[in-house]
Amino acid sequence: MDFDMLGLAPRLVAKLAEQGITDPTPIQKQAIPQAMQGRDVMGLAQTGTGKTAAFGLPMIDALMKTGTKPTPKTVRGLILAPTRELAKQISENLTAYTKGSHLKVALVVGGAGIGAQTKRLAGGVDLLVATPGRLIDLLDRKALRLNETIYLVLDEADQMLDMGFIHALRQIAPLLAKDRQTMMFSATMPKLMNELADTYLNNPVRVQVNPPGQAVKKIDQSVHFVAQAAKFDMLVELLDAHRDELAVVFGRTKHGCEKIYKQLEKKGFAAASIHGNKSQGQRDRALAAFKEGKVRVLVATDVAARGLDIPGVAFVYNYDLPNVAENYVHRIGRTARAGADGKAVALVAPDEMIELQDIEKVMKETVPTASGRRWEVQPGQKKRPNGGGNRGRGRGAPGGGGKPKQQNKPGHTNAKPGGGQRRRRGNGPKAA
């Protein structure tokens, strides 16, 4: 099946062909026809399977056919993403798909000058990719209106819940056009996702490529059972075996990742780090150097677990296992992109066994042992305190977690998700 068989306009299909995109992925084959009929869509697919095109192409197709420009300070299609890196990746893809057309794509994220973003929105945009916090800042400044927004996309919606963006969604949703099409995409399906779907989607069609939580089959996974104090030496030994290949190393905390990065540099590795303590400019420069191959090892917190689309990443190392089991699947999805093979290696200390068990339960498979003997879970052993990931401050050994801040459970709220009155769309995408 080619893209033209999905009903997309020949002009758009030709633009995709220019970029070497000719064969739709499974999620695109299922989602695009439904979206083009105006249906609300809940898409479940692993990261790296082409979700951006699955929701982006139907919107672009409909907006291209209108032939009109948006009115000042308005947005026709809004795509919300939980992290700056993911938002930037989506924006770049949409810009490539719309190149040469009259459609305007804009990106607004934190860490960048709000004045320039305000100016960009003044004339109105067709597609706006945003992180929730910065979007609310701009709404408070009356830099844009959402009353003409007829398309809403929630990308990586499970991570939005995990990062507590449900409150932002409650503020944003009532401002949108009541008659709109909503699409929600995610790689995992936590319990709160059904609540989110019931609130924001109207009789959605569910499209699913693989069971939620299942890793890409081309990823060769393995685990080394190693004491926490011996992790760094083992990481150096493993990285040293493939210095010319790209690798991403995931840690739990900002402080821990920075320490790992600096120690790798001392060992002669071309390394960089990205985490919440880095400015957006620093993060962009680190990613650019990694994509260009100037940096071979990227050390990151979960800010890079999604939205990092670099086909050349051959290895992913979990220096620390994530507290949220589903994030493991996202992390290792940074390798084996675009049909390539990849390796995912986990370094597991005794106090991480509960996290490993949770991960294996979510994936419904046991990660093969590469070295060491599987640790036994001690009576009364509990999951490690949340190291903060993108927000906490680690102390001690590289990647070690410090005392966490007191906070609610991810995505927890006492009230049900809100979002204004829902609506019933017609049979096709509404032209504005």
CA–CA separation, 171 and 189 (whole Å): 23
User: How large is the average pLDDT for residues 413-421?
Assistant: 40
What's the chain's average pLDDT? 85
Closest CA to 151 of 232, 70, 215, 46: 70
Among 287-301, 333-347, 417-431, name the most confident range: 287-301
pLDDT tier, 29 (very low <50, low <70, confident <90, very high otherwise)? very high
Reported as a single tens digit per residue, the pLDDT across 174-183 is 999 999 999 9
pLDDT of residue 323: 87
pTM, to two decimals: 0.68
pLDDT tier, 211 (very low <50, low <70, confident <90, very high otherwise)? low
User: How large is the average pLDDT for residues 362-371?
Assistant: 93
Average the pLDDT over each of 41-55, 202-216, 361-375, 418-432 and give the range with the smallest value: 418-432
> Cα torsion for 98, 207, 186, 149, to the nearest 10°?
50
Among 101-110, 202-211, 319-328, name the most confident range: 101-110
Angle at which helix 353-363 crosses helix 325-332, to 10 degrees, equals 70
CA–CA separation, 259 and 397 (whole Å): 8
Phi, psi angles (nearest 5°) of residue 78: -115, 125
H or E element in which residue 55 lies: helix 51-66
CA distances, 280 to each of 168, 176, 274, 303, 387 (Å): 21, 28, 9, 12, 22
pLDDT tier, 208 (very low <50, low <70, confident <90, very high otherwise)? confident
Buried b (16+ CB within 10 A) or exposed e, 85-101: bbbbbbbebbbebbeee
Specify whether the CB–CB gap between 158 and 187 falls below 8 A. Answer: yes
Specify whether the CB–CB gap between 213 and 188 falls below 8 A. Answer: yes
pLDDT of residue 284: 86
pLDDT tier, 388 (very low <50, low <70, confident <90, very high otherwise)? very low
Specify whether the CB–CB gap between 308 and 337 falls below 8 A. Answer: no
pLDDT of residue 379: 85
Q: In what order do the strands lie in the sheet with 297-300?
A: 271-274, 297-300, 246-250, 313-318, 342-348, 219-225, 369-371
CA–CA separation, 289 and 297 (whole Å): 10
CA–CA separation, 385 and 395 (whole Å): 13
pLDDT of residue 355: 95
